[in-house]
Amino acid sequence: MVTGYARAGRAAEALDLFRRGQVEPANMANDLRAVPSVLNVCAKEGELMKGREIHGRMVRCLSFDSDIAVGNALLDMYAKCGRADIAWAVFAGMKEKNVVSWSTMISCYGVHGMGKEALGIYEEMVSRGVKPNCITFTSILSSCSHSGLVSDGRMIFESMSKVHGVEPTADHYACMIDLLGRAGAIEEAVGFIRKMPLEPGASLWGALLSACAVHNNVDVGEIAAYRLFELEEGNASNYVTLCGIYDAVGRSDCVSGLRSRMRELGMVKTPGCSWVDVKGRMHVFYQGSIPRSLRRKMLWVLDMLVEDMGASESEDEYLRMY
């Protein structure tokens, strides 16, 4: 039931049932099978405190450090909750590791912009004779991309089939396009697409379009965008990204034309949102969704907090002087 709730995205029910299983006579206190599912829920929801609570409960109740599935779930949870330091501590303390463990740790460092550390884990993994798989290469190439390690990314990509016998997939090519694009090598990225043996998909053109948006490359951006218009007909974000490129270079006429086209197609961009969990209840905020009266109260509280923090810093400086 816990796993079923977790897979259905019903986080509150999964966590509640797991807690009940720990205190009620359900014989779950020494059962590890539900733990990875609950930790996955915590990772998806960003519930660091609940994840740490489960971690602590497992430490007190079980000798689980030799269970690879639980260790991997802990790694993933701490990584997605922004605690790369604790993820490393869990990884270092695992008695047994498999390719998923290594790949998860590489991905953890990558998403936190710690490319050199990710490379170090990858090199140690290879030196220990652990064979990397396609997920490992996606993780390390993505890590190189986020940290601007172009040369390292090129060498790893070349070694995939030649050294490790893993044929690159569309995701790996998209990682390489993202790597080159972020570094400003747009023309090289286009040449890379022309040489690849696979038919370019939406993820690859999306990576190229994003790179063009960063570097305001109109010519290549138009090529990528119009390919995406064909592949993802109902995706408004591709139109919005191209509008942003036009706007950045001062081509207001193109912006107007594209927005008119979006209206004709009935496209509406899904607004971004923020959310916060208060006493187990998720509160979602969209731009413009907060009433003016509530906004005034929020700004007043924010001003008070800023004032209190400023007074606290002044007091600390005074104490250091004397």
**According to the 3-state scheme, what is the secondary structure of the chain?**
CHHHHHHCCCHHHHHHHHHHHHHCCCCCCCCCCCHHHHHHHHHHHCCHHHHHHHHHHHHHHCCCCCCHHHHHHHHHHHHHCCCHHHHHHHHHHCCCCCHHHHHHHHHHHHHCCCHHHHHHHHHHHHHCCCCCCHHHHHHHHHHHHHHCCHHHHHHHHHHHHHCCCCCCCHHHHHHHHHHHHHCCCHHHHHHHHHHCCCCCCHHHHHHHHHHHHHHCCHHHHHHHHHHHHHHCCCCHHHHHHHHHHHHHCCCHHHHHHHHHHHHHCCCCCCCCEEEEEECCEEEEEECCCCCHHHHHHHHHHHHHHHHHHHHHHHHHHHHHHC
- Residue where a domain stops, chosen among 71, 96, 121: 96
Whether 17 is covered by a domain: the verdict is yes
pTM of the model: 0.76
**What local confidence, expressed as pLDDT, does residue 23 receive?**
52
Whether 178 is covered by a domain: the verdict is no
The residues, ordered by sequence, that sit 6+ positions from 183 with a Cβ below 8 Å of its Cβ are: 148, 150
Whether 34 is covered by a domain: the verdict is yes
- Residue where a domain stops, chosen among 96, 127, 155: 96
Whether 105 is covered by a domain: the verdict is no
The ranges of the chain with pLDDT < 50 are 25-26, 28-29, 318-319, 321-322
- Residue where a domain stops, chosen among 96, 111, 128: 96
**What local confidence, expressed as pLDDT, does residue 319 receive?**
45
Domain that holds residue 61: 1-96
**What local confidence, expressed as pLDDT, does residue 244 receive?**
92
Would you state the torsion angle of the CA atoms of residues 124, 189, 242, 202, taken in this order, to the nearest 10 degrees?
-70
The tally of domains found in the chain comes to 2
Whether 164 is covered by a domain: the verdict is no
Maximum alpha-carbon separation in the chain: 70
Whether 70 is covered by a domain: the verdict is yes
CATH number of the structural domain spanning residue 52: 1.25.40
Tens of pLDDT, residues 157-207: 999 999 999 999 989 999 999 999 989 899 999 988 988 888 888 989 999
Whether 39 is covered by a domain: the verdict is yes
Whether 46 is covered by a domain: the verdict is yes
The residues, ordered by sequence, that sit 6+ positions from 29 with a Cβ below 8 Å of its Cβ are: 21, 22, 61
